[in-house]
Structure 1
Amino acid sequence: MHNIVKYLRLSKEFDLTQEELATALGVSRHTIISIEKGGNTTAEMVLKLGHFFDKDPREIFFIRDVAHSLQQCEKQAI
């Protein structure tokens, strides 16, 4: 599943290493690596990340085809 976890982690607001984020969430660094590479994750982890970054999980995780379809619909409406 596509996501912006790496972007958020490295943003000026957070500026975290994978290890720091993993520690804050109580998971392994390997888990963070897997998520950033688009690997599957649990609903619990999706919610934890949303809470940690103070964002709706739908702003962080998305399916590329769905996002592309929504963008096309918005362009046609304009």
Structure 2
Amino acid sequence: MSKNSVPAKKDDGITLKDRWENTKEYFRGVYSELKKVHWPDRRQLIGYTGVVLFSVALMALIIWLFDSGLSFLLNQIFKAFA
């Protein structure tokens, strides 16, 4: 064990009540932060969803074209040398 390494702390002093209070405080903080979030309205949500679906379809098309092109090339190479 090196000089700078510190052994892990034991949590003998933490009771179940302390853990429950810490958990409640955590979720209060989460709720507080979620209230600060700017949630999109229905129109924005539909627009964002359309952009995502279009992007996914475009990427799928590009990958399909690339895959088809490589398959065609490999088939031509195999036919030439087979």
Q: Normalization by structure 2: what TM-score?
A: 0.26
Task: Point out the structure with max Rg over C-alpha.
Answer: 2
Considering Cα pairs closer than 8 Å and 6+ residues apart, tell me whether 1 or 2 has the greater RCO. Answer: 1
Structure (1 or 2) with the greater strand fraction: 1
Structure (1 or 2) with the greater helix fraction: 2
Q: Normalization by structure 1: what TM-score?
A: 0.27
